[in-house]
Chains A and B, each alone.
Chain A
Amino acid sequence: YELTQPLSVSVALGQTARITCGGNNIGSKNVHWYQQKPGQAPVLVIYRDINRPSGIPERFSGSNSRNTATLTISRAQAGDEADYYCQVWDSSPVVFGGGTKLTVL
């Protein structure tokens, strides 16, 4: 199973960023999202499509339908600049997307 993410997304400070994750009928799977800043370990920011772990700001939200899952970051801040990875559980069993670099302008 393959997950496709854009290599990069740019967003103006204070605006909304949307990072997509494409996969065949991904809407039937649970999609999870991780944030990774340079030199740090990944951090779970969304699990099971729409849920935020404790400590993750409400500005982070997720959706998943048909062939595309989306991570939405509202009111983007400079501290949101990072790489973001989607992940699903499949026959492999853990599958990651290629990652998206978010730049906050």
Chain B
Amino acid sequence: EVQLVESGGSLVQPGGSLRLSCAASGFTFSSYEMNWVRQAPGKGLEWVSYISSSSSIIYYADSVKGRFTISRDNAKNSLYLQMNSLRAEDTAVYFCASLIVGATYLDYWGQGTLVTVSS
């Protein structure tokens, strides 16, 4: 069974940092591209970042560029999101989602982890 389990979300002050993790199981993680998608309270889905299967290609949404860093460890079947200089508008549930190489749709999603940026 495919599982994506996010962790690391918490309450953090504006300007602070947080590192999210996503543990993958039940599929060949190294064959999948990965994404972070977030959803602010009561709002729609917002794509945050993408990383290719080999980490050679990385993209960020303009809203997080220069502040967030995506990475992965295929040996540990894990995806990460380092979030720095956090702002109130970064408050959201953060989902990790997989994308098989060559596809353009997100086939598996985790349940999400809540990040709250507030003083």
- Distance between Cα atoms of A29 and B47 in the complex (Å): 18
A62-91: CB near B (< 8 Å → 1, else 0) gives 000000000000000000000101011100
Interface hub of A32, A42, A95, A98 (most chain B Cβ within 10 A): A42
A85 in contact with B95 (CB, 8 Å): no
In the assembled complex, the CB of B4 is this many whole angstroms from the nearest CB of chain A, namely: 9
A96 in contact with B46 (CB, 8 Å): yes
Within 8 A of B (CB), among A19-58: 30, 32, 34, 36, 40-44, 47-48, 53
Q: Contacts A96-B45, A96-B47 hold; do A41 and B104 have CB atoms under 8 A apart?
A: no
Q: Does B27 interact with chain A (Cβ within 8 Å)?
A: no
Measuring CB to CB, which residues of chain B are less than 8 angstroms from any residue of chain A? 35, 37, 44-47, 50, 59, 61, 95, 97, 103-107, 109-112
Interface hub of B46, B95, B104 (most chain A Cβ within 10 A): B104
Question: Contact residue range for chain A?
Answer: 20 to 34
A-B contacts, 21 listed (Cβ < 8 Å): A30-B104, A32-B104, A32-B105, A34-B45, A34-B106, A36-B45, A41-B109, A41-B111, A42-B37, A42-B97, A44-B106, A44-B107, A47-B105, A47-B107, A48-B105, A85-B44, A85-B45, A89-B105, A93-B59, A94-B47, A96-B37
Q: Contacts A95-B47, A96-B45 hold; do A89 and B104 have CB atoms under 8 A apart?
A: yes
- Distance between Cα atoms of A43 and B95 in the complex (Å): 12
Contacts of A36 in B (CB 8 A): 45
- 6 smallest beta-carbon distances between A and B, as pairs: A89-B104, A94-B47, A32-B105, A99-B44, A41-B109, A47-B105
- Distance between Cα atoms of A51 and B103 in the complex (Å): 13
